[in-house]
Structure formats: C-alpha cells, structure tokens
C-alpha cells in the first residue's frame, strides 16, 4: 500500500509539474473555490492507479464522486491542495494521498513536486521526509511559536467571525503564516518548521494524510475543544504538543462567539 501510494504521488507530482506555469483552465465551484484542469487530470491518474491496485477499496477524492461502496479500507485523495496558489502561479501546493482503516487514517503521503519533498507516515512506524525521520519542534510556549492557519471558503461572508481568532493568536505568538495548503501546513508542523496549525471547515481529503504524519512525528491532533480529531470533522488543531493546551485556551475564548 505504501509503495503504490508513493508511486501514485510521484506520478501526480510529475503531472502537476507539466501543468505548472501554463495558463490554467480554471472553473469556479464557488465564489473563491477554484478547480483547474490539473486538478481533474491528476485526480483521474491517482484514482486509476489506486483502483487498479486495490479494486476492493473505497476511494474518496475531491473532484469526483466516491468510487466503490464503503469498505474497511478507504483512500482519500486531494490531487492539488493549493489550487488557488497553483492557478495564480504561486509556488506552494501538493498532492495528498491517505488510507484510512475503519475511518482512522493509517497511511499518509504528501508530495510537494516543486521542492521535491515527499512526507510520509504509516501508523506506528514514524514519519519521514524524503526517507529521513522527522519530529515536531521543541518550542515550549505559544509566545515562541510560529503558527499557520487558513480561512474557509465562506470567508467573504464570515470575515468578522474569523479575524478575531486570527488576531488573538497573532498577539500571543511569534508569527502566523497563511500559505494556502493545509496538507503542507500539517507536514510543516510534523517536521518542526511550524509549531502549530488550526483551521475550520476542511474536508477529509485535506487532512487525512497530514494528520497521520503529524501524529507519527510526535505531535498532537485534536478538535478545537481538545476532543479527538475526527476524519471529516469541522475542526483540526495540530501542534508539537507543548503548546497544544495554550492554543486550546485561545480557541475556547471563541466557543460561544464567532465559532458557534
């Protein structure tokens, strides 16, 4: 399974590089939610490779309806995490492939083809970057932490709800990055480049791979109330563990306000 997923991610990355820098054919799924020709071609490639290797597994992918009936094994595919970046020729995007067993992610692959970085993890075996073991940072406090976040697709309508949370973290951390790829944000937490990440309204294909990579790198994953992370849930909070409760405490300030 790891071998096939890695081969699929590498093939997807090569195809994304072929499309990179060209004039992308862009469609709109929503006001700010884009899909490009590359999304569709890469997803078709990955789904075909996974389906051929594992015909009895389910596949949930961003741009197409689920493949096959629900099974104990299910693949989650984001062919191009960072579509808006890609469409604007901003060089920060990745392909994300994960396998879940009875709803729990057990394998994650995130491939950044421009940087030639492949993050990988399997449950119980640790996390790697290009084959080398990675660990979360040792940053001890939120005040020393570099964080990342993203804003949901309804941000134009609900900006007043999201900005106060951003401001609260901005005033209590060393800095915040908003790079436009949740899969890479999670991998950057896993590799110690970031200390924490939070975001709402992500989909299962956005988080499935990254969350298992964070966990296997020694980090923590939860919802905003410090409850268990649920695949397909509305909230994901990832950290190095040391600053997790501090981030939870910030988010709790908004449980009865903008987040409700």
Helix (H) or strand (E) holding 47: helix 37-53
Contact 182, 203 (CB under 8 A): no
* pLDDT of res. 32: 42
pLDDT at 30 over 50: no
* pLDDT of res. 154: 59
Mention the CATH class of domain 2-133.
Answer: alpha beta
Residue 192: other Cβ atoms inside 10 A: 18
User: What tokens does 179 get?
Assistant: 């790079």
* Topology adopted by domain 142-252: D-Maltodextrin-Binding Protein; domain 2 (3.40.190)
- Per domain, the residue ranges of the chain are 2-133, 142-252
Confidence band of 42 (pLDDT split at 50, 70, 90): very high
* pLDDT of res. 232: 85
The angle at the Cα of 120, spanning 189 to 245, to the nearest 5 degrees, equals 25
Confidence band of 33 (pLDDT split at 50, 70, 90): very low
* pLDDT of res. 64: 77
Contact 62, 167 (CB under 8 A): no
Per the DSSP assignment, residues forming a β-bridge with 129 are: 119, 132
User: Is this model's pTM higher than 0.85 or not?
Assistant: yes
Average pLDDT on 202-206 reads 94
On average, the pLDDT of the chain sits at 91
What distance in Å separates the CA atoms of residue 89 and residue 68, rounded to the nearest whole number? 35
What percent of the chain shows pLDDT beyond 70?
88
What distance in Å separates the CA atoms of residue 116 and residue 65, rounded to the nearest whole number? 30
**Residue 64: exposed, middle, or buried by beta-carbon count in 10 A (0-12, 13-18, 19+)?**
middle
């Amino acid at each position: 399974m790891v071998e096939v997923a890695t081969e699929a991610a590498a093939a997807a990355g090569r195809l994304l590089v072929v499309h990179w820098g060209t004039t992308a054919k862009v469609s709109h799924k929503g006001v700010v939610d884009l899909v490009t020709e590359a999304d569709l071609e890469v997803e078709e490639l990955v789904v075909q490779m996974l389906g051929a290797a594992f015909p009895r597994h389910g596949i949930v992918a961003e741009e197409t309806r689920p493949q096959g009936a629900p099974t104990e094994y299910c693949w989650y595919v984001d062919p191009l995490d960072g579509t808006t970046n890609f469409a604007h020729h901003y060089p920060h995007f990745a392909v994300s492939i994960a396998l879940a067993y009875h709803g729990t992610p057990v394998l994650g692959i995130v491939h950044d083809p421009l940087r030639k970085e492949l993050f990988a993890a399997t449950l119980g075996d640790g996390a790697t970057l290009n084959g080398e073991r990675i660990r979360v940072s040792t940053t001890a406090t939120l005040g020393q932490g570099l964080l990342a976040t993203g804003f949901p697709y309804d941000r134009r309508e609900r900006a007043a709800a999201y900005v106060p949370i951003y401001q609260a973290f901005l005033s209590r951390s060393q800095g915040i990055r908003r790079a436009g790829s949740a899969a890479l944000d999670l991998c950057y937490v896993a590799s110690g480049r970031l200390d924490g990440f939070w975001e709402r309204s992500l989909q299962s294909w956005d988080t499935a791979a990254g969350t298992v990579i964070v966990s296997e790198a020694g980090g923590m994953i939860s919802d905003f109330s410090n409850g268990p992370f649920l695949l397909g849930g509305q909230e994901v909070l990832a950290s190095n563990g040391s600053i997790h409760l501090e981030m939870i405490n910030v988010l709790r300030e908004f449980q009865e306000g903008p987040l409700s």
